[in-house]
Amino acid sequence: MEVLMPEPQIYVERTLAIIKPDVIDKEEEIEDLILRSGFHIIQKRKLQLSPEQCSNFYAEQFGKVFFPNLTAYMSSGPIVAMVLARNCAVSYWKELLGPSNSLRARISHPHSLRAIYGTDELRNGLHGSLSISSAEKEIRFLFPEAILEPVPTGQRARDYLNVCVKPTLLAGLTALCKEKPADPMIWLADWLIEHNPNKPKLQYRVCQ
């Protein structure tokens, strides 16, 4: 009797990393350390959050004595948000960051990123998700268009294409036939980007 084995699938874990306002000038240096530590930077965005957006992002910290200073600090200038991927990304990134209090990090984890780039307990230079579930939540907050689930296959894939892809693609091809541009591939690509129904709904002030 033939035993049917499922096709092997590799699920790479993702986590959120944020370079905070006070170390934004160290962006390239920090990214180099991230890449040399075995991570892939899947998505990256430079932006400045409003105090209200920071309050929503750190909603679980609401009510704590440092909350007003935290939101003021995080909205004081541009940040760089990154989706990092590798096996066990959450735990490895937490290990690379070190303790949240930079002063303690310098004693217990002197080679950690917060020990190197942080100033004190509040201004610790970088953010990392605490768990897989918080990583998913935080990535969705800063990258609403991100696809975190495994890519669907079989009937799920056909359903997704029929509902989410085909209507937009059909509209784009129809517009392409009417327009008859000189370079149809580039025109269609630009049209699909402009008419993407899954554009992020959050409005951020993007830094140039």
Residues assigned a catalytic role: 127
Long-range contacts of 73-77 (CB under 8 A, 24+ apart): 73/20, 73/21, 73/22, 73/122, 73/123, 74/20, 74/21, 74/49, 75/48, 75/49, 75/50, 75/51, 76/21, 77/21, 77/22, 77/24, 77/48
Look up residue 182 and give its amino acid: A
Which residues are 42's β-sheet partners?
A: none
Decide if 106 contacts 44 (C-beta within 8 A).
no
Decide if 96 contacts 113 (C-beta within 8 A).
yes
